[in-house]
Amino acid sequence: MREIDSICTHLLAAKVIPVLRLASADQARTVIDCLLDAGFTTVEIALTTPGAVQLIAELRARVAQSFLVGAGTVLNVQQARQCIDAGADYLVSPCTAHGIAAIAHDAGRAVLLGAFTPSEVHAAVKEGSDIVKLFPASSGGPSHLAALRAVFADVVFCPTGGVDAGNMAAYFNAGAAVVGVGNSIIDSKALSAKDGPRMVAHAKQYLELAAASA
């Protein structure tokens, strides 16, 4: 069983969490393999991806224990239990869904609950969120994150939703400890063309930008 602090330390060191919402399980497998080749040490599979829970179980079984598998868009305790049973190392929700943190912590896993307003950030922390997912980050931008950080100096934030290569550095400068990057981490044309090397090169840019922002 993974220790919660160890998982959080790993995510903060990773700096970038790819958040995958894809049209099929096969597409997800292709993208995950490219992300592995690019050097990522974690990936979040959103439950909106077909067969997501099975993908989580499959990925957890075939990659090294040092690679963290996250479950995203977890909205209730039933989904949380399914993802934990499948081997998810951490759970991510777009909101402060009651009970998810308790299930994750009972299993020794970490949780990132979603929040946008100061009241929601406070509620997420009270609920037990280890890292607060600022979502949707694009609605307020880096300045919104900076304002929240001024009030919640001890909260670890992960802005997600609209974070891309063009604004990622601004989010780190505003106080992000780690960022969640959606499908912009994928070169969609390369995916359609099944051009793996091009997809790997595109994804690597995010690791390079994160390293430069450290």
Catalytic residues: 44, 133
d(CA 165, CA 210): 9
Q: Could you give the C-alpha distances from 111 to 14, 76, 106, 133, 196, in angstroms and in order?
A: 16, 13, 11, 10, 31
Burial class (CB in 10 A: 0-12, 13-18, 19+), 203: buried
Look up residue 213 and give its DSSP letter. Answer: T
d(CA 121, CA 149): 10
CA distances from 107 to 6, 10, 84 (A): 14, 17, 7
Which spans in 15-96 are helix H? 25-38, 52-62, 77-86
Give me the residues paired with residue 19 across strands. Answer: 44
